[in-house]
Structure 1
Amino acid sequence: MNNIRTLYYIHDPMCSWCWAFVPTWEKIQGSLPSDIEVVYLLGGLAPDSDLPMAEQMKLTIAGYWQTIQERVPGTQFNYDFWTKCQPRRSTYPSCRAVIAAKAQAKNCDEANVLEKAMVRAIQEGYYLNARNPSDFDTLVAFAEEIGLDVERFELDLNSESTIEQLNEEMHMARSIGAQGFPSLILKSNKLAKAEETKSRALKNAQWQNIPYDYNDASVTLRRL
């Protein structure tokens, strides 16, 4: 019997806890067992909106940032964002930007590179440089900065296929048991004789929520 394992990383590019998790997540990925493949899934934190964020929501999210900095030492936030930008409670555009970036890849390896490049551009632009990833022009600027075909990116960003892909990823994230962002969910495919693969108990046992600690990669690695 062979085991093929996939570790799903469920995230949103504008999730502040995902930003705090970056250093530990990079350590986890660098030390994963060789039989584990990592797949990113967009969970979608907040749908499209043109409405300015309410003052109380601004204070609440800024408060989250302060809490994160206390719990995850070394995490940086640029609080100028709250005065320099017009915040909106809208993260789906940044999620679509990740999909639109991947769409320009020629193969799977390049898709992974472009995916991570766009996520990092969004996170650093948002959290370090006080740029608003909810804005179309900001996302287009990120696309140019990471070397994408800007005209194609502009077309793909809000295309039907991109919207459909995001909906599919969000649906899958929910269906496999994602509990907030980030979530780590391991799928183990046991390849065995036909009658065993039909077992409902086996099917239900495939998906496992994997624990993590924002400050300690070994928590996840020991479990894996």
Structure 2
Amino acid sequence: MTATLIYCYDPMCSWCWGFRPTWTQLQKALQPLIDSQQLTIQPILGGLAIDSDVPMPEEMKEKLENTWQNIQSSLGSEFNFEFWRTATPRRSTYPACRACYVARDFGLEEEMYHAIQEAYYLQAQNPSDLDTLSTCAEHIGLKAEGFQKAMQHVKDEQLLEKEINQARHLGLNSFPSLTLLLGDHLTPIPLDYKDHTNMLENIKKTLS
């Protein structure tokens, strides 16, 4: 029986950005299990914040900037704090999530995920804006016009909302999070942001 490691994320979740190097190491370490068909990895979008055109309140901007500083000091992640001076942030991550959903159909979900993170955290661009997401799409080889039509389709059909409901049904309420599905049994995998080895051992133990 093949187990499924479910990775729940939001491309605008700063802790997901902090977790990225360790998550990359874990995926590489799991490759032998994937090659032997004991394991598959399934990303699922968590959806931090619904669609909104309202500028983010100053209090929330300050709170999130402090979160970035905390992640930088604890994990060494790089952030471009100019975002908080030059952008007009909105508490809206659904557009970025939809972009990853669209890219999944082209086998480019991870590439889109990384492009959005780098635009946001390193280049101080706003992934709540369709222009930013279209640029990310072009960066990974998608055509902007087709991408924007697909984004509208995902929104009209509420495909993202259906995936978010699935994540909640699985008990995935924080991002990032990992859970191992074997048969109909779910085993949450505790996160270690600095070292992938404990997570690897937990996964192997559950599979054995």
TM-score, structure 2 normalization: 0.91
Q: 1:217 aligns with which of 169, 173, 196?
A: 196
Q: Report the CA distance between 1:212 and its aligned residue.
A: 1.7
After TM superposition, list the pairs within 5 Å mapping 1:46-195 onto structure 2: 46-72=49-75, 74-103=76-105, 105=106, 111=107, 114-160=108-154, 163-189=157-183
Q: Report the CA distance between 1:101 and its aligned residue.
A: 1.8
Q: Report the CA distance between 1:164 and its aligned residue.
A: 2.5
Q: Report the CA distance between 1:187 and its aligned residue.
A: 0.3
The corresponding residue for 2:13 is: 15
Gaps (5+ residues) in structure 1?
Answer: 106-110, 190-202
Identity %: 46
Runs of 4+ with >3 A deviation? 160-163
The whole-number CA distance in structure 2 between the counterparts of 1:93 and 1:187 is 28
The whole-number CA distance in structure 2 between the counterparts of 1:116 and 1:75 is 19
The corresponding residue for 2:206 is: none
Q: Report the CA distance between 1:70 and its aligned residue.
A: 2.1
3-state SS in 1 of match to 2:119: helix
Q: Report the CA distance between 1:161 and its aligned residue.
A: 6.3
The whole-number CA distance in structure 2 between the counterparts of 1:82 and 1:161 is 28
The corresponding residue for 2:25 is: 27
Q: Kindly tell me: are residues 181 and 160 of structure 1, through their superposed partners in 2, closer, same or farther at Cα, counting changes over 3 Å? A: closer
Q: Report the CA distance between 1:69 and its aligned residue.
A: 1.5
CA offset digits 1:116-155 (Å, max 9, x no partner): 1100000000000000000011111111111102211011
The whole-number CA distance in structure 2 between the counterparts of 1:156 and 1:162 is 10
Give the aligned residue type for 1:27: Q
3-state SS in 2 of match to 1:158: helix
Q: Contact 1:96–1:163 at 8 Å: present in 2 too?
A: no
The whole-number CA distance in structure 2 between the counterparts of 1:179 and 1:137 is 29
CA offset digits 1:33-86 (Å, max 9, x no partner): 3311000000000001000000010000000011111221x2011000011110
Q: Report the CA distance between 1:102 and its aligned residue.
A: 2.2
Q: Contact 2:154–2:160 at 8 Å: present in 1 too?
A: no
Greater C-alpha Rg = 1
3-state SS in 1 of match to 2:3: strand
Give the aligned residue type for 1:89: R
Gaps (5+ residues) in structure 2?
Answer: 204-208
The whole-number CA distance in structure 1 between the counterparts of 2:72 and 2:143 is 36
